[in-house]
Amino acid sequence: MPDFDVVVAGCGPAGNTVAYRLATAGARVLMLERERLPRHKVCGGGLSRKTLEELPFSVAPVVEREVAGAFIAYGGAEAVYCAQPGIGAMVQRHAFDAYMAGRAVAAGAALWEGCALEGFEFRGAGVAITTAKGSVTARVLVGADGVNSQVRRRLYPDARTMLVPAIEALVAASARSLAALGERCVFDLGAIPAGYAWVFPKGDHFNVGLYRFAKRRDNLAMRALLERFVASCPILRGHGEVRVKALVIPVRPVAARLARDNVLLVGDAAGVGDAFYGEGIYYAVRSANLAARAIAGYLGGSAPLAAYDTTMRDLRRQLFAARLTARLFYLSPRLAFRHAVRKPAVNRLFAGVIGGGVTPTRCLAGFLLLAPYWLLSRSARPAAVPLGGDAPLDEVAEG
């Protein structure tokens, strides 16, 4: 008998979700985490409404701020404000990941912290796994170890995913500055070519960053663009320490099959992420839920692990639609802002993707079909973006 039914490499949202689901169902689960929890993770930390609904349990204890709306601007001007109470929440990944891992452990999973996966090989009807603390055997191995996944590299050594760059800064903030933005976040399409800037308010700081859907020669200059954006916003200046970290986001599945023999890939390790928004947590949790269902069927003898790839087909279609939307939209963010974002019907379409009421495929179809509407309809009334720190909450105009 193998030591465990399932070994999960990685304690991010995907790995924690798989571990919790299977441990709750009675499986013998071991979680491997290379670092000790809590550990810092470069991420905006925004959870969309559909992510909150997809998670296996409430994460209210680690939510630092609810999101009630968002400003979408171009170069800090002519912003549109979308009011959608309950559209999401803000967390810090170190606390979020540690909390989820704790719930998985409470459900019965074992956790080895500071223990990296070093290798694996197929053995009979299972997998032999080498770790920093010794070797174990399992019926199934789940690769949830992020964009630089060791599991993926060993499973598909020649696989290449599509990676897009992003960079974030953690900016200390005063209570007045945080109150000026309140429960609202900001997206600015004029801060970087082929992408956007974000400002997310947290408990005691702002998470500020740039996302770019493009491979450009000046990607290495993104830090300078981020510093310029921060300097242009009075609400972000003069608050002391600014910590900057770069990251890449996978936005295309790494292989046609994400389940091979007794190994599955989920989350960033699988390359599932939204190319338009750069959202990864929802797709990590969604792929993990589908993987857990397939693994449970396999352990119970009712279905093969390949059922995972079958259930992932719709998610692949949604990710394809998101990539195509990004290619069209980011050809000219200025034109997209003027002729799409500022039109209420189009704006609601894109906001629906975050809320979960609109799929990326439906969003793409609507984006194309509403093209005549962009030119004929009126734009939403501009709103004042409170990045100067002086705009009272009751003076915000809603689009």
pLDDT of residue 308: 98
pLDDT class for 244, splitting at 50, 70, 90?
confident
The CATH classification of domain 4-44+93-161+252-312, taken from the options 3.20.20.140, 3.50.50.60, 1.10.10.10, 1.10.4100.10: 3.50.50.60
Closest CA to 65 of 199, 168, 195, 189: 199
For the chain, give the mean pLDDT. Answer: 89
pLDDT of residue 392: 34
pLDDT of residue 387: 72
pLDDT class for 377, splitting at 50, 70, 90?
low
With a pLDDT cut of 90, the percent of the chain lying above it is 65
Cβ–Cβ under 8 Å, residues 374 and 62:
no
Higher pLDDT, residue 55 or 217:
55
Distance CA 70, CA 354 (A): 11
pLDDT of residue 389: 47
Q: Where are the domains of the chain?
A: 4-44+93-161+252-312
- Averaged pLDDT for residues 174-193: 90
pLDDT of residue 393: 31
pLDDT of residue 232: 87
> How far is the CA of 384 from the CAs of 205, 224, 341, in angstroms?
21, 26, 16
pLDDT class for 395, splitting at 50, 70, 90?
very low
Which residues have CB under 8 Å from 48's CB, separation 6+? Answer: 87, 88, 279, 281, 282, 354, 355, 356
Q: Is the pLDDT of residue 266 over 80?
A: yes
Written in H, E and C, the secondary structure of the chain is CCCEEEEEECCCHHHHHHHHHHHHCCCCEEEEECCCCCCCCCCCCEEEHHHHHHCCCCCHHHCCEEEEEEEEEECCEEEEEEEEEEEEEECCHHHHHHHHHHHHHHCCCEEEECCCEEEEEEECCEEEEEECCEEEEEEEEEECCCCCCHHHHHHCCCCCCCEEEEEEEEEECCHHHHHHHCCEEEEECCCCCCEEEEEEECCCEEEEEEEECCCCHHHHHHHHHHHHHHHHCHHHCCCCCEEEEEEEEECCCCCCCCEECCEEECHHHHCCCCCCCCCCHHHHHHHHHHHHHHHHHHHCCCCCCCHHHHHCHHHHHHHHHHHHHHHHHCCCHHHHHHHHHCCHHHHHHHHHHHHCCCCHHHHHHHHHHCHHHHHHCCCCCCECCHHHCCCCHHHCCCC
Q: Is the pLDDT of residue 252 over 60?
A: yes
Residue holding tokens 């000219």? 332
Q: Is the dihedral of CA 170, 232, 66, 280 positive or negative?
A: negative
pLDDT of residue 235: 83
Choose the most confident range, by mean pLDDT, from 38-47, 141-150, 173-182, 225-234: 141-150
pLDDT of residue 386: 73
pLDDT class for 77, splitting at 50, 70, 90?
confident
pLDDT of residue 394: 31
- Averaged pLDDT for residues 193-206: 93
pLDDT of residue 399: 31
Distance CA 113, CA 119 (A): 17
Q: Is the pLDDT of residue 213 over 80?
A: yes
